[in-house]
């Protein structure tokens, strides 16, 4: 009977001792420090400015020069052939050259797109970024990796 009575007087709060103010401060500081560490980690979103890549990367400028050179060569050929061919033949040749130029442009754009993607993936992997976005679609935030992408396209 004595055990039962003593059991009745045991309060649940007596089983767990309350924390004193110093312990609360230590727990609070640990919580703030852990939140600060989470906030100090690197952002997981990268941003690439495609306009800068197109205007500054050696590879993009090289492809643009190839396209410009081919267009100039075609224009020169058409100028030479203008006196030798009939109007219909000249128009047919011009249409052929335009199709060839469009095809070359599409090939170079596809190649550059793959190379930019590969460079962005390499930079993202090295910086441990989860996502890489185009700068125009991103209003705020993210790590600008444009310079690294341009460097890898040399």
Q: At 63, which CATH number?
A: 3.30.910.20
Asked if residue 72 belongs to a domain, the reply is yes
Q: How many domains does the chain have?
A: 1
Asked if residue 13 belongs to a domain, the reply is no
Q: Residue 16 has what pLDDT?
A: 47
CA distance linking residue 154 with residue 152, whole number of Å:
6
Asked if residue 59 belongs to a domain, the reply is yes
Asked if residue 133 belongs to a domain, the reply is yes
pLDDT > 50? residue 12: no
Asked if residue 136 belongs to a domain, the reply is yes
Residue 51: which domain range? Answer: 45-152
Mean pLDDT over all residues of the chain?
78
Q: Which of 16-30, 42-56, 94-108, 123-137 has the highest mean pLDDT?
A: 94-108
Q: Residue 20 has what pLDDT?
A: 63
Asked if residue 95 belongs to a domain, the reply is yes
Greater pLDDT, 24 or 51: 51
Predicted confidence band at 146 (pLDDT cuts at 50, 70, 90)?
confident
Q: Residue 151 has what pLDDT?
A: 86
DSSP count for the chain of H helices, then E strands? 6, 3
Q: Residue 9 has what pLDDT?
A: 45
- DSSP secondary structure letters along 25-76: HHHHHHHHHHHHHHHHSPPSEEEE-HHHHHHH-HHHHHHHHHHHHHHHHHHH
Q: Residue 44 has what pLDDT?
A: 84
Q: Which position has the token pair 């590969």?
A: 118
Predicted confidence band at 145 (pLDDT cuts at 50, 70, 90)?
confident
DSSP 42: P
Q: Residue 29 has what pLDDT?
A: 60
Asked if residue 10 belongs to a domain, the reply is no
Greater pLDDT, 3 or 128: 128
What average pLDDT does this structure show over 140-150? 76
Asked if residue 3 belongs to a domain, the reply is no
Q: Residue 138 has what pLDDT?
A: 54
What average pLDDT does this structure show over 90-104? 94
């Amino acid at each position: 009977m004595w055990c039962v009575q003593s059991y009745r007087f045991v309060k649940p709060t007596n089983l767990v001792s309350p924390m004193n103010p110093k312990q609360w401060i230590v727990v609070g500081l640990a919580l703030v420090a852990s939140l600060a560490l989470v906030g100090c980690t690197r952002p997981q979103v990268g941003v690439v400015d495609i306009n800068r890549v197109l205007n500054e990367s050696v590879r993009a400028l090289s492809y643009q020069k190839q396209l410009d050179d081919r267009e100039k060569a075609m224009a020169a050929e058409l100028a030479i052939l203008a006196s030798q061919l009939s109007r219909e033949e000249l128009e047919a040749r011009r249409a052929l050259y335009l199709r060839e130029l469009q095809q070359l442009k599409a090939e170079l754009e596809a190649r550059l797109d793959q190379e930019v993607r590969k460079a962005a993936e390499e930079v993202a992997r090295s910086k441990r970024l989860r996502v890489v976005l185009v700068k125009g679609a991103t209003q705020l935030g993210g790590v600008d990796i444009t310079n690294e992408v341009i460097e890898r396209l040399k």
